[in-house]
Protein backbone atom coordinates (compact mmCIF):
# COMPACT_ATOMS: atom_id res chain seq x y z
CA UNK A 1 0.00 0.00 0.00
CA UNK A 2 1.33 3.48 -0.82
CA UNK A 3 2.45 5.19 2.39
CA UNK A 4 2.84 8.86 3.26
CA UNK A 5 5.92 9.57 1.06
CA UNK A 6 4.27 7.98 -1.97
CA UNK A 7 1.05 9.99 -1.53
CA UNK A 8 3.04 13.17 -0.92
CA UNK A 9 5.00 12.50 -4.13
CA UNK A 10 1.75 12.07 -6.08
CA UNK A 11 0.38 15.26 -4.53
CA UNK A 12 3.42 17.26 -5.61
CA UNK A 13 3.12 15.90 -9.14
CA UNK A 14 -0.58 16.75 -9.37
CA UNK A 15 0.05 20.30 -8.13
CA UNK A 16 2.31 20.94 -11.12
CA UNK A 17 -0.40 20.01 -13.63
CA UNK A 18 -3.94 20.74 -12.44
CA UNK A 19 -3.64 23.48 -9.83
CA UNK A 20 -5.85 26.40 -10.89
CA UNK A 21 -7.59 24.36 -13.61
CA UNK A 22 -11.35 23.88 -13.95
CA UNK A 23 -12.98 20.45 -14.20
CA UNK A 24 -14.92 20.31 -17.50
CA UNK A 25 -15.98 16.66 -17.55
CA UNK A 26 -15.81 13.45 -15.55
CA UNK A 27 -16.02 9.86 -16.73
CA UNK A 28 -16.69 7.21 -14.09
CA UNK A 29 -16.37 3.66 -15.46
CA UNK A 30 -17.49 1.80 -12.36
CA UNK A 31 -18.93 2.74 -9.00
CA UNK A 32 -18.21 -0.46 -7.08
CA UNK A 33 -14.91 0.61 -5.56
CA UNK A 34 -14.05 -0.02 -1.93
CA UNK A 35 -17.01 2.20 -1.10
CA UNK A 36 -19.75 2.73 -3.72
CA UNK A 37 -19.32 6.05 -5.53
CA UNK A 38 -22.31 8.31 -4.96
CA UNK A 39 -24.52 9.17 -7.92
CA UNK A 40 -23.96 12.92 -7.59
CA UNK A 41 -20.14 12.87 -7.72
CA UNK A 42 -19.82 13.93 -11.36
CA UNK A 43 -22.27 16.78 -10.96
CA UNK A 44 -20.73 17.90 -7.65
CA UNK A 45 -17.31 18.60 -9.18
CA UNK A 46 -18.33 19.81 -12.65
CA UNK A 47 -17.08 23.36 -13.45
CA UNK A 48 -15.23 23.53 -10.12
CA UNK A 49 -11.74 25.04 -10.01
CA UNK A 50 -8.85 23.31 -8.21
CA UNK A 51 -7.78 25.84 -5.60
CA UNK A 52 -5.31 23.52 -3.91
CA UNK A 53 -4.06 19.96 -3.66
CA UNK A 54 -3.42 18.46 -0.25
CA UNK A 55 -2.78 15.30 1.70
CA UNK A 56 -4.11 14.01 5.00
CA UNK A 57 -2.41 10.82 6.09
CA UNK A 58 -2.69 8.60 2.97
CA UNK A 59 -5.62 10.53 1.44
CA UNK A 60 -5.28 12.86 -1.56
CA UNK A 61 -7.38 16.02 -1.35
CA UNK A 62 -8.47 18.30 -4.20
CA UNK A 63 -9.72 21.57 -2.73
CA UNK A 64 -12.33 22.95 -5.12
CA UNK A 65 -14.23 26.22 -5.05
CA UNK A 66 -17.65 26.43 -3.36
CA UNK A 67 -16.19 24.62 -0.32
CA UNK A 68 -16.07 21.24 -2.04
CA UNK A 69 -13.26 18.71 -1.56
CA UNK A 70 -12.63 15.67 -3.73
CA UNK A 71 -11.03 12.82 -1.77
CA UNK A 72 -9.02 10.04 -3.42
CA UNK A 73 -7.56 7.04 -1.62
CA UNK A 74 -5.29 4.76 -3.66
CA UNK A 75 -5.83 1.64 -1.58
CA UNK A 76 -3.36 -1.20 -2.17
CA UNK A 77 -2.65 -0.85 -5.87
CA UNK A 78 -4.13 2.44 -7.07
CA UNK A 79 -2.22 5.05 -9.03
CA UNK A 80 -2.82 8.45 -10.59
CA UNK A 81 -1.73 9.24 -14.14
CA UNK A 82 -1.82 12.63 -15.84
CA UNK A 83 -2.13 12.79 -19.63
CA UNK A 84 -1.99 15.66 -22.11
CA UNK A 85 -4.10 13.76 -24.62
CA UNK A 86 -7.60 15.05 -25.23
CA UNK A 87 -10.53 13.12 -23.82
CA UNK A 88 -11.31 11.79 -27.30
CA UNK A 89 -7.70 10.76 -27.98
CA UNK A 90 -7.13 8.93 -24.71
CA UNK A 91 -8.04 5.24 -24.81
CA UNK A 92 -9.10 3.99 -21.39
CA UNK A 93 -6.92 1.20 -20.02
CA UNK A 94 -7.96 -1.82 -18.06
CA UNK A 95 -8.71 -0.84 -14.45
CA UNK A 96 -9.17 2.87 -15.26
CA UNK A 97 -12.07 3.82 -13.01
CA UNK A 98 -12.15 7.61 -13.15
CA UNK A 99 -11.03 10.17 -15.73
CA UNK A 100 -11.28 13.89 -14.97
CA UNK A 101 -10.78 16.43 -17.77
CA UNK A 102 -9.51 19.95 -17.07
CA UNK A 103 -9.76 23.14 -19.10
CA UNK A 104 -5.95 23.26 -19.14
CA UNK A 105 -5.94 20.22 -21.43
CA UNK A 106 -4.82 17.70 -18.82
CA UNK A 107 -6.56 14.45 -17.98
CA UNK A 108 -6.28 12.93 -14.51
CA UNK A 109 -6.75 9.14 -14.55
CA UNK A 110 -7.35 7.00 -11.48
CA UNK A 111 -6.40 3.35 -12.11
CA UNK A 112 -6.78 0.65 -9.48
CA UNK A 113 -6.58 -3.09 -10.35
CA UNK A 114 -7.65 -4.32 -6.91
CA UNK A 115 -10.28 -1.62 -6.29
CA UNK A 116 -9.37 -1.14 -2.64
CA UNK A 117 -9.23 2.62 -3.17
CA UNK A 118 -12.16 4.99 -3.33
CA UNK A 119 -13.31 8.47 -4.33
CA UNK A 120 -15.66 10.68 -2.30
CA UNK A 121 -16.88 14.25 -2.04
CA UNK A 122 -16.80 16.45 1.07
CA UNK A 123 -19.18 19.36 1.18
CA UNK A 124 -18.07 22.04 3.64
CA UNK A 125 -15.23 21.80 6.15
CA UNK A 126 -12.98 18.89 5.18
CA UNK A 127 -11.58 18.63 8.71
CA UNK A 128 -14.94 17.22 9.81
CA UNK A 129 -14.77 14.39 7.26
CA UNK A 130 -15.78 11.13 8.91
CA UNK A 131 -12.62 9.28 7.88
CA UNK A 132 -10.37 11.96 9.40
CA UNK A 133 -11.96 12.05 12.85
CA UNK A 134 -9.78 9.37 14.40
CA UNK A 135 -6.55 10.16 12.56
CA UNK A 136 -3.56 11.14 14.63
CA UNK A 137 -1.09 13.95 14.10
CA UNK A 138 0.80 14.42 10.83
CA UNK A 139 4.40 13.22 11.34
CA UNK A 140 5.93 16.03 9.27
CA UNK A 141 4.10 18.74 11.20
CA UNK A 142 5.82 20.90 13.84
CA UNK A 143 3.36 19.63 16.44
CA UNK A 144 4.77 16.13 16.10
CA UNK A 145 7.72 16.24 18.46
CA UNK A 146 9.34 14.11 21.12
CA UNK A 147 7.14 15.38 23.92
CA UNK A 148 3.96 14.63 21.98
CA UNK A 149 5.10 11.07 21.26
CA UNK A 150 6.36 10.47 24.79
CA UNK A 151 3.05 11.57 26.35
CA UNK A 152 1.23 9.19 24.00
CA UNK A 153 3.38 6.15 24.77
CA UNK A 154 4.81 6.54 28.29
CA UNK A 155 2.16 4.30 29.86
CA UNK A 156 1.77 1.88 26.98
CA UNK A 157 2.68 -1.81 27.06
CA UNK A 158 2.47 -2.05 23.26
CA UNK A 159 5.57 -2.40 21.11
CA UNK A 160 6.87 0.70 19.33
CA UNK A 161 6.19 -0.99 16.00
CA UNK A 162 2.51 -1.33 16.85
CA UNK A 163 2.30 2.17 18.32
CA UNK A 164 3.78 3.84 15.25
CA UNK A 165 1.57 1.83 12.90
CA UNK A 166 -1.51 2.99 14.82
CA UNK A 167 -3.07 5.73 12.68
CA UNK A 168 -4.75 7.17 15.79
CA UNK A 169 -1.34 8.01 17.26
CA UNK A 170 0.43 9.30 14.16
CA UNK A 171 -1.09 9.39 10.68
CA UNK A 172 0.40 8.03 7.48
CA UNK A 173 3.24 5.85 8.73
CA UNK A 174 3.46 2.35 7.31
CA UNK A 175 5.55 -0.77 7.60
CA UNK A 176 8.55 0.28 5.51
CA UNK A 177 9.16 3.67 7.10
CA UNK A 178 8.55 2.53 10.66
CA UNK A 179 11.26 -0.12 10.27
CA UNK A 180 13.63 2.40 8.68
CA UNK A 181 13.04 5.08 11.34
CA UNK A 182 13.52 2.66 14.23
CA UNK A 183 16.80 1.48 12.70
CA UNK A 184 17.96 5.07 12.18
CA UNK A 185 17.22 5.89 15.84
CA UNK A 186 18.88 2.64 17.05
CA UNK A 187 15.68 1.62 18.82
CA UNK A 188 14.43 -1.96 18.67
CA UNK A 189 10.88 -2.33 17.28
CA UNK A 190 9.90 -4.71 20.07
CA UNK A 191 10.67 -2.20 22.82
CA UNK A 192 7.46 -1.20 24.60
CA UNK A 193 6.30 2.38 24.88
CA UNK A 194 6.58 2.70 28.66
CA UNK A 195 10.30 1.90 28.40
CA UNK A 196 10.95 4.97 26.27
CA UNK A 197 12.40 8.11 27.82
CA UNK A 198 11.72 11.63 26.59
CA UNK A 199 15.23 11.63 25.11
CA UNK A 200 14.49 8.38 23.26
CA UNK A 201 11.23 9.84 21.96
CA UNK A 202 12.99 12.98 20.71
CA UNK A 203 15.53 10.83 18.90
CA UNK A 204 12.83 8.66 17.31
CA UNK A 205 10.82 11.66 16.07
CA UNK A 206 13.94 13.13 14.45
CA UNK A 207 14.53 9.82 12.67
CA UNK A 208 10.90 9.57 11.49
CA UNK A 209 11.03 13.03 9.94
CA UNK A 210 14.47 12.37 8.44
CA UNK A 211 13.37 9.10 6.80
CA UNK A 212 10.11 10.55 5.46
CA UNK A 213 11.84 13.64 4.04
CA UNK A 214 14.45 11.50 2.32
CA UNK A 215 11.79 9.15 0.90
CA UNK A 216 9.84 12.09 -0.55
CA UNK A 217 13.06 13.48 -2.06
CA UNK A 218 13.58 10.18 -3.90
CA UNK A 219 9.98 9.89 -5.08
CA UNK A 220 8.79 7.25 -2.65
CA UNK A 221 9.37 3.50 -2.65
CA UNK A 222 8.36 1.21 -5.51
CA UNK A 223 8.42 -2.43 -4.44
CA UNK A 224 5.59 -3.53 -6.75
CA UNK A 225 2.74 -1.27 -7.83
CA UNK A 226 3.53 2.33 -6.92
CA UNK A 227 4.13 4.83 -9.71
CA UNK A 228 4.53 8.60 -9.64
CA UNK A 229 2.15 10.85 -11.59
CA UNK A 230 4.27 10.64 -14.73
CA UNK A 231 4.50 6.85 -14.52
CA UNK A 232 8.01 6.87 -13.01
CA UNK A 233 8.91 4.49 -10.21
CA UNK A 234 10.10 5.77 -6.85
CA UNK A 235 13.78 5.33 -6.00
CA UNK A 236 13.84 5.15 -2.20
CA UNK A 237 13.95 1.33 -2.34
CA UNK A 238 17.59 1.85 -3.36
CA UNK A 239 18.19 3.75 -0.12
CA UNK A 240 16.57 1.30 2.31
CA UNK A 241 18.90 0.46 5.19
CA UNK A 242 17.05 -2.40 6.89
CA UNK A 243 13.67 -3.17 5.31
CA UNK A 244 13.86 -6.39 3.28
CA UNK A 245 17.55 -6.89 4.21
CA UNK A 246 17.17 -10.03 6.33
CA UNK A 247 20.44 -11.89 6.72
CA UNK A 248 22.56 -9.03 5.42
CA UNK A 249 25.21 -7.18 7.39
CA UNK A 250 24.00 -4.03 9.12
CA UNK A 251 24.59 -0.90 7.02
CA UNK A 252 25.76 1.09 10.03
CA UNK A 253 29.49 1.68 10.14
CA UNK A 254 31.39 -0.21 12.83
CA UNK A 255 28.31 -2.35 13.59
CA UNK A 256 29.00 -6.02 13.06
CA UNK A 257 25.39 -7.04 13.47
CA UNK A 258 23.06 -8.80 11.05
CA UNK A 259 19.60 -7.71 9.96
CA UNK A 260 16.91 -9.95 11.39
CA UNK A 261 13.25 -10.34 10.57
CA UNK A 262 10.39 -10.83 13.00
CA UNK A 263 6.62 -10.74 12.64
CA UNK A 264 4.74 -8.18 14.74
CA UNK A 265 0.95 -8.18 14.44
CA UNK A 266 1.22 -10.03 11.17
CA UNK A 267 3.66 -7.58 9.56
CA UNK A 268 7.26 -8.30 8.63
CA UNK A 269 9.61 -6.19 10.72
CA UNK A 270 13.34 -5.78 10.07
CA UNK A 271 15.97 -4.64 12.57
CA UNK A 272 19.60 -5.03 13.56
CA UNK A 273 19.94 -7.25 16.61
CA UNK A 274 23.20 -5.55 17.60
CA UNK A 275 22.80 -1.78 17.34
CA UNK A 276 19.06 -1.47 18.01
CA UNK A 277 18.29 -1.66 21.72
Burial tier of 166 (Cβ tally within 10 Å: 0-12, 13-18, 19+): middle
DSSP 3-state of 139: coil
CA torsion sign for 222, 223, 227, 232 is: positive
Query: If we measure between CA atoms, which residue out of 109, 146, 123 comes closest to residue 26?
Result: 109
The residue from 3, 6, 120, 180 that is catalytic is: 3
- Buried b / exposed e across 114-131, counting CB within 10 Å, b at 16+? ebebbbbbbeeebeebee
- Cα torsion 234, 222, 5, 23 to 10°: value is 80
Question: In angstroms, rounded to a whole number, what is the distance separating the alpha carbons of residues 9 and 215?
Answer: 9
- Cα–Cα dist 224/227, whole Å: 9
Mapped onto helix, strand or coil, the DSSP state of residue 185 is coil
Q: Reply yes or no on whether 3 is catalytic.
A: yes
| DSSP-based three-state secondary structure for 203 | helix
The C-alpha R_g of the chain, in whole angstroms, comes to 20
User: Within 13 A of 164's CA, how many CA atoms are on the CB side?
Assistant: 30
Q: Tell me, yes or no, if 267 is annotated catalytic.
A: yes
Active-site option among 55, 58, 152, 161: 58
Known catalytic membership, residue 5: no
Active site (catalytic) residues: 2-3, 58, 267
Amino acid sequence: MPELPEIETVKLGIEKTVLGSVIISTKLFRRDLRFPVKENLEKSILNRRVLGVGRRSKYLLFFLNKKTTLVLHLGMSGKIDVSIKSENEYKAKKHDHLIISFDSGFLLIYNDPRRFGFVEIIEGDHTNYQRFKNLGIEPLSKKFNGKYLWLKIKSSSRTLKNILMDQKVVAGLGNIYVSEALWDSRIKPTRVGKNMSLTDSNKLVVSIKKVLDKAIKFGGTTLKDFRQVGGEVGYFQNKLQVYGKEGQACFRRKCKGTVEKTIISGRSTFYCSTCQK
